[in-house]
Amino acid sequence: MPTHVFEPTYYHHTFGAHPPVLHIAPGDTVRTTCVDAAGQDRTLQQVTPRGNPMTGPFYVEGAMPGDTLVVRLEQLRPNRNQAWSGAVLAANVVDPEDVPVLAQARGSGRWLDWEVDLASNTARLRSTVRGLEGLELPLEPMLGCFGVAPSRGEAISTATSGPHGGNMDYRGFKEGVTAYFPVQVEGALFFLGDGHALQGDGEIAGTGLEISMDVQFSVDLIKGQHIRWPRGEDREYIFTVGNARPLDQCVQHATSEMLRWLTTQYGLDIQGASQLLGQCVRYDLGNVFDPAYTMVCKMPKKLLQRLPTRS
Amino acid sequence: MPTHVFEPTYYHHTFGAHPPVLHIAPGDTVRTTCVDAAGQDRTLQQVTPRGNPMTGPFYVEGAMPGDTLVVRLEQLRPNRNQAWSGAVLAANVVDPEDVPVLAQARGSGRWLDWEVDLASNTARLRSTVRGLEGLELPLEPMLGCFGVAPSRGEAISTATSGPHGGNMDYRGFKEGVTAYFPVQVEGALFFLGDGHALQGDGEIAGTGLEISMDVQFSVDLIKGQHIRWPRGEDREYIFTVGNARPLDQCVQHATSEMLRWLTTQYGLDIQGASQLLGQCVRYDLGNVFDPAYTMVCKMPKKLLQRLPTRS
Amino acid sequence: MPTHVFEPTYYHHTFGAHPPVLHIAPGDTVRTTCVDAAGQDRTLQQVTPRGNPMTGPFYVEGAMPGDTLVVRLEQLRPNRNQAWSGAVLAANVVDPEDVPVLAQARGSGRWLDWEVDLASNTARLRSTVRGLEGLELPLEPMLGCFGVAPSRGEAISTATSGPHGGNMDYRGFKEGVTAYFPVQVEGALFFLGDGHALQGDGEIAGTGLEISMDVQFSVDLIKGQHIRWPRGEDREYIFTVGNARPLDQCVQHATSEMLRWLTTQYGLDIQGASQLLGQCVRYDLGNVFDPAYTMVCKMPKKLLQRLPTRS
Amino acid sequence: MPTHVFEPTYYHHTFGAHPPVLHIAPGDTVRTTCVDAAGQDRTLQQVTPRGNPMTGPFYVEGAMPGDTLVVRLEQLRPNRNQAWSGAVLAANVVDPEDVPVLAQARGSGRWLDWEVDLASNTARLRSTVRGLEGLELPLEPMLGCFGVAPSRGEAISTATSGPHGGNMDYRGFKEGVTAYFPVQVEGALFFLGDGHALQGDGEIAGTGLEISMDVQFSVDLIKGQHIRWPRGEDREYIFTVGNARPLDQCVQHATSEMLRWLTTQYGLDIQGASQLLGQCVRYDLGNVFDPAYTMVCKMPKKLLQRLPTRS
């Protein structure tokens, strides 16, 4: 299968039916780069306005509405030695009464600097923060924002998320993971960006360790498989992603999507799927910062593999 | 330290200032039993009305409002070989459009039966469910509902939860875990019950594998330490628990409580705590079924232990 | 029908199965008084701790779980010439980013004073607030908090609300209105308090014009009519009350309750009720400040009266 | 001022930076027509796909980001004698447990027909619904969906709403009302459509009485006045509109916007605005059906006019 190398020269701030930068075929691999959320590239040059600029879109030959786009995140590699992060927690993740103390603590400095050491795979806080002198954290690179063009001719801000994916800020979207998106326009039109060298659940400080990245991914198609929300799988789990507000609705979207997955592809009826989910499901929190929040519904592959009807 | 053995003869369906069944001292250990959520004991006799009947309350000598009650869950052992579970997912955890298909799938049978094998530590589904013939799942016993008497003279149903704890249905409350509750009345008045042999995140089928249990716990007091929400710790994490609706508010309660913990006991200011949380926090989902939902905010102990100011 | 005069000597801070202060019969009238939310009586003496102290409970002869208690608010009369109000908006009713400016504006003074003139039926702001010099507002007295003892042996704080009524802070509960509550314990056990001389929708400053009151109400029973949420009616509307969080859930509770009302007592099926609701329903906002919020679903009586099946 | 007559030949299903159909100047009046939500015109011909097709966009000369677009709804006139409505309540406005009975009641027929009599200003239900035989309701024509192009190059589906306006389904947007929108692109790009001959609060049956309309509106500009959310005014009230989910967040957006209005244009500080809002605010419910819900925060003009600083 061919490997395309694509170096972006401009970026998009919406997921929409923009002219493709490259046509690729199912099975192809792409090596490309993403700027950070502020539009800064590997040399720390700001090459495009801030706000999750996206690389792409990539047109996948043969993709039609009603298909599923498969994206394998083969390599997610920070490509510079400097990252930045929000200084204090976001106002919406603490009790309203605690917001003033956050505002006060932020003071004039909104951003902190981190030194990223790719050799040792760690990030070291360079800004002076009391109690964190010399703090080093191991990297866990992930993509904060990626997905496909939405339906209806919409062009949706890369600040938010939806059935098309988008700014989900889920730390489970890391190297080795396969993501599935509902194709909603011809060619699918895949975008990616918003690299994080590290991020906790929820992106509750409003950022991860924001950084530019070298990315390698491959694509595939599942023709005629209609899904409603992004899905994914890693070594241990299959998972579904609900993007909405409040989180209660994210849970509903992700759980309904998992119910559809289990009942259509694992030989289970509603009672069977309910039992497995009820006793074995796991949920992860994507972002609780962006306009739409994200919850992830996960089922262990090991459990599904040993289902009587699967053996 | 003395070990008390207490066999309950009646149960409570509210957390309130009920007459204590036993006075115990900080450091004491209690061995007792809990009926299941339906009021059935180890012999499957229904000995009290259904609805999370609680064993207790236990009066802890010296506990006063403003203190923290420490409860170590030393042993959580299912004590019979039969458990039951809800047949289908709860109506509120799926998209509203998917509710009718759940209702239809439930049909006449609301409950399924499980055989629990304490020797092999597994549960086997006895009810006939297509695709799950012979399904065996490993047990992970947990307490669904426990906590202390609330303030203001309230008596709060064991169906729900709040700052006092209650029906949190968090699978992290298992053997070996220490829980912390804000003491709100003299003696703290600790209650426990609602054993689950196993339960996924969210208790999304409305139950876990409901079972009676033998429980051993010990108590302690942290005098003068005022906390607002339940806290806990296991080997890997310290955690805080927010109980409310919607989940967004649970996140706020739990995160604010963790912020207080980190800034009062770990030498961090708001910026320092924000950085650690932002890049390293984990959230777990307690129940999304009961009147109040539950989210848990977790921080890795390993990370906190190597903070410069803690070394 | 007899009229009872009852002067309270103590108050309750929970809705619960407290010993009744008076036994009354269906059809009876009661004249009594309520202290304000801070426990101050008509002489501005604090006679009980703050936090919506309730007068009552009144035991209604013959009331049994499954019945409906009818309460006619015959007179709601502020009985002193001084009221107080919260100084700034509550933190939870503005965007999180705007909370710091509220905190700053509140400064040291949390409460403002109002002079109430019962003759002219107006309130005049006595505290100095820029731009409001000499402000006079017409009174619209209402009861912020009233209801019945809940089920299950619960004792629920008068800070919040639920199926039993409670701290709904709905300005529609004013003189001349009839309220309906689901009887959940023998005798119903009716409580009332938290008078407001005036209040906007939502109680968004955290208070109305808080004042003590002389109240006259009468009670009746609808035997065997089971309702799930408080209902009411005034000259123009019948209405149902949903108490929960978030407001979306209040809408669901109130709308489901109205659907039950229309389909059981107005000769409509689901489609008929849906059409009338869809084109003619009105919603009012009760509180968006307390732990549980309140939404009210209203249908015009005039419309219902001219339904073909009602003529 | 000139009056433009514009007859649309195509329609848009997103609010975005589409090529303008007409350039107009501040002060100009436009007479045009809107198809109904299903794309049917005055002759009941479907002339464009369903889903709130919009007439426009109209480019307003001189409008720049940071200005406010003023739109006066001078005439909203249904232009045919047939309307349609959803058959049963939307699944998300009732308790989850009540969803199955709605699904059952809907049966095969999703839509009901109404005969609209423009002479008598009434709608008569033509479909057979038990209990509603011969039902006639007075018309209250309104625009369900209108607004301006959003920022960031977004193109937002006409199914939802946001700071740009959109599918707010607020029955207060009727003839005689002035609406204000934040200009976010050069020329503002104003769209309008989704006429309802009548609709209750919340659009809880998922539709109003859907109908095509003749519309006359005029536009104006407030240069340099930056607003964040739609605003409006009628004879009695000024109002602000918050579009989001859950409703709690709508309340926050609308209240924050009203706070900004009162403190920037009515000589009030935060305490003054808080007092007026706290005691006198009204909220109306826009839609609780679309992806984003809508709440409206209203203040009586009479009250504001007699503020000391305004006299």
What CATH number corresponds to the domain at position B266? 3.10.28.20
Going across the sheet that includes C111-117, the strands are: C82-86, C111-117, C122-125, C136-138
Angstrom distance (rounded) from CA C34 to CA C76 = 10
Residue C213 domain-assigned (yes or no):
no
Q: What is the pLDDT of residues B252-281, one digit of tens each?
A: 999 999 999 999 999 999 999 999 999 999
- A206 with A92, same domain: the answer is yes
Q: Is C100 on the interface with A (CB under 8 A)?
A: yes
Against chain C, the chains showing at least 3 CB pairs within 8 Å are A, B, D
- D169 with D300, same domain: the answer is no
On whether the CB atoms of residues D288 and D231 are closer than 8 A, the answer is: no
Last residue of a domain, one of D222, D249, D283: D222
The whole-number pLDDT of residue C127 equals 87
Residue D70 domain-assigned (yes or no):
yes
- B193 with B253, same domain: the answer is no
Number of alpha carbons in the 13 Å side-chain half-sphere of residue C167: 25
**A202 vs B198, B259, B281: nearest CB:** B281
**B91 vs D92, D99, D104: nearest CB:** D99
The CA distances from residue A178 to A66, A215, A231, C237, D143, in Å, are: 19, 14, 8, 56, 44
Widest pairwise Cα distance in chain A: 60
pLDDT surpassing 50 at residue D311: no
pLDDT grade for A183, boundaries at 50, 70 and 90: very high
Closest B-chain CA to A273: B88
State the nearest Cα–Cα gap between B246 and chain C, in angstroms: 6
The whole-number pLDDT of residue B273 equals 97
pLDDT grade for B110, boundaries at 50, 70 and 90: confident
pLDDT surpassing 90 at residue A306: no
The whole-number pLDDT of residue D109 equals 74
Last residue of a domain, one of B196, B226, B256: B226
- B74 with B207, same domain: the answer is yes
pLDDT surpassing 80 at residue B309: no
Closest B-chain CA to D102: B100
- D66 with D153, same domain: the answer is yes
Residue C69 domain-assigned (yes or no):
no
On whether the CB atoms of residues C223 and C67 are closer than 8 A, the answer is: yes
**B155 vs C51, C155, C159: nearest CB:** C155
Name chain B contacts of D103, Cβ cutoff 8 Å: 99-100
Name chain D contacts of A51, Cβ cutoff 8 Å: 152
Phi, psi angles (nearest 5°) of residue A40 = -95, 135
Q: Under an 8 A CB cutoff, do D97 and B104 touch?
A: no
Question: In the numeric block, which tokens belong to residue A146?
Answer: 């990626």
- D306 with D158, same domain: the answer is no
On whether the CB atoms of residues D195 and D143 are closer than 8 A, the answer is: yes
State the nearest Cα–Cα gap between D70 and chain C, in angstroms: 25
Q: Is B243 on the interface with A (CB under 8 A)?
A: no
- D161 with D23, same domain: the answer is yes
Q: Which amino acid, residue B40? A: Q
The whole-number pLDDT of residue C110 equals 82
Q: For the complex shown, is ipTM > 0.95?
A: yes
pLDDT surpassing 90 at residue A275: yes
Last residue of a domain, one of B193, B226, B259: B226
Residue D171 domain-assigned (yes or no):
yes
Residue C256 domain-assigned (yes or no):
yes
pLDDT grade for D107, boundaries at 50, 70 and 90: confident
pLDDT grade for B127, boundaries at 50, 70 and 90: confident
CA dihedral A11, A14, A19, A25 (to 10 degrees): 90
Query: To the nearest whole number, what is the mean pLDDT of chain A?
Result: 96
Q: Under an 8 A CB cutoff, do B131 and A280 touch?
A: no
pLDDT grade for B311, boundaries at 50, 70 and 90: very low
Q: What is the mean pLDDT of each run of 10 residues along chain C (311 residues)?
A: 94 98 98 98 97 98 98 98 96 97 86 95 93 93 98 97 98 98 98 98 98 98 98 98 98 98 95 96 98 98 83 42
CATH of the domain at A180: 2.60.120.580
Question: Structural domain of residue D159, as residue ranges?
Answer: 3-81+139-222
Q: What is the pLDDT of residues D179-229, one digit of tens each?
A: 999 999 999 999 999 999 999 999 999 999 999 999 999 999 999 999 999
The alpha helices in B70-224, defined as continuous H runs, are 99-106
Q: Is A16 on the interface with D (CB under 8 A)?
A: yes
- A209 with A241, same domain: the answer is no
What's the average model confidence in pLDDT over A36-42? 98
State the nearest Cα–Cα gap between B253 and chain C, in angstroms: 13
The whole-number pLDDT of residue A311 equals 42
- B260 with B291, same domain: the answer is yes
- B242 with B168, same domain: the answer is no
Q: What is the DSSP string of D17-62?
A: -PPPSEEE-TT-EEEEEE--TTSB-TTS-B-S-SS--EEEEEEETT
> Looking at the whole model, is its pTM more than 0.80?
yes
State the nearest Cα–Cα gap between C290 and chain D, in angstroms: 12
Q: What is the pLDDT of residues A53-111, one digit of tens each?
A: 999 999 999 999 999 999 999 999 999 999 999 999 999 999 999 999 999 998 777 89
State the nearest Cα–Cα gap between D66 and chain A, in angstroms: 19
Q: What is the pLDDT of residues A78-87, one digit of tens each?
A: 999 999 999 9
- A34 with A106, same domain: the answer is yes
pLDDT surpassing 70 at residue D137: yes
Name chain B contacts of C14, Cβ cutoff 8 Å: 152-155
Beta bridge partners of D53: none
Closest D-chain CA to B103: D100
Number of domain units in chain B: 2
The whole-number pLDDT of residue C311 equals 42
- D304 with D160, same domain: the answer is no
Against chain B, the chains showing at least 3 CB pairs within 8 Å are A, C, D
Q: Is B96 on the interface with D (CB under 8 A)?
A: yes
